[in-house]
A and B are shown apart, each in its own frame.
Chain A
Amino acid sequence: MNWSDYEAIWKRQEMPVGACADPATLKETFEAKRRKLAATLFGRDLMEAAAGVAVAGAFAFMWWKQGKAGWPISLAIACILWVTGFFIKERIRTHRNQLGSDAPLLAKLEAEIAELRHQRRLLFNVGTWYLAPCLAAILIVLATILLNAPAGVLAGHRSLIVGFFGGYIALVGLFFWFVWSLNRRAVRKQIEPRLEELERLQQSLISSS
């Protein structure tokens, strides 16, 4: 057999007939799925932005309660808003750079690979752009509260207060360590295998030519 025989066999294959689903059902199903996807993505973006704004609002309230002496809390607010801004900037960048399924295969692969590399970099550096500013914000707020506390309160319950804040910082530290290791794990278990898979695919498409 030669190539044209294969082509003939291929072209002679019969397609299933008369099994087409109702177009109205298709439309309804796909539209529901599209809306759900869009809502999920929007909800995630909104949550990330809203969480940052809510924490900044809570810090602003503390600043107001502390009066003028609470000014360092403004630095904590700036840290939180910076993280929130970073999240928003990242979301906008992702939406802009996303290529649809109708892009040429090579372009789509390259875009996905570039995105994965970017995500890997972000997850590796989560300590710098996320954990460090958040930790700094919490420490600033705690320190401001401690420094502005009435002398009598501190003198009477020094060990209790130190224990409370120490425990709180330890808990926050533990939580941040957990977030950091989760990110590392995501890079190792999800991003890197997927990246390798796509790079292999890209390589095979390029090198086969």
Chain B
Amino acid sequence: MSPSPAQESLFQAWLEEHRGIFVKVSRSYAHSETETGELQQEMLFQLWISLPRYAGQAKPSTWIYRVCLNTALTWRRGTQRRERRIEPEADISLLAADAANPAESAGHRDLLDQLYAALQAMPLSERALVLLMLDGLAYREMAEVTGLTENHVGVALTRARKHLALLLKGVTDELE
């Protein structure tokens, strides 16, 4: 089923408003610039084909996170299958994550790179939770995205935060 004209407008608005979600998720789950672009395209495509099911009950950001994380979690496994099935589509370079903003200081960029490197070293599921936490989602929203209970999210996050802190220990030491 194709999205309706209203859903198409919604899609366009989301691309602007929630662009950060695509960039952050793809950068956390892909290992190269090419992969980041491919993953972004796949997430956008999944969002497009899921749109007709969006009933407006969930917050757009929560819903987009679900689509993006589901895509990212199963993406590597599906790459070969997709390549066999679908020819390469038009170049969609709308969310280039490498477009460094001159306003960002070099120090801040380094720290951010290290944060992403630490995220990539985490297990896929912990990575998803930390991403949601860093983006400021409430436990209830994280539970909606993951399907876990709020209590479980809390426990899992405590563990994931410890893990992240351990991975960033070198950075922390340098700064202290």
Contact = CB atoms under 8 A, between A and B. Distances in A.
B79 interface: no
Interface of A: 1, 3, 6-7, 9-17, 19-21, 23, 25-34, 36-37, 40, 100-109, 112, 194, 197-198, 201, 204-206, 208-209
Given A102-B54, A104-B144, A209-B153, A17 B101 contact: yes
Interface string B100-132: 010110001001100100000001111011000
Given A36-B86, A105-B70, A209-B148, A20 B94 contact: yes
Nearest to A106: B147
Contacts of B2: 31, 34
B25 to A, nearest CB: 12
17 contacts: A6-B164, A6-B168, A7-B136, A10-B112, A16-B19, A16-B99, A20-B16, A23-B8, A26-B44, A100-B50, A104-B66, A105-B125, A208-B123, A208-B155, A208-B160, A209-B148, A209-B152
Contacts of A32: 89
Given A16-B23, A32-B89, A105 B145 contact: yes
A31 B90 CA distance: 12
Chain A contact residues, majority secondary structure = helix
A78 B67 CA distance: 44
A108 B70 CA distance: 8
Given A15-B23, A32-B89, A205-B125, A102 B136 contact: no
Interface in B59-101: 63, 66-67, 69-71, 73-74, 77, 85-87, 89-90, 92-97, 99, 101
B107 to A, nearest CB: 10
Contacts of A30: 44-45, 48-49
A1 B172 contact: yes
A149 B164 CA distance: 79
A55 B157 CA distance: 58
B46 to A, nearest CB: 4
A101 B99 contact: no
Interface in B161-176: 161, 164-165, 168, 171-172, 175-176
A104 B151 CA distance: 16
A2 to B, nearest CB: 9
Contact of A105 (B20, B96, B146): B146
B134 interface: yes
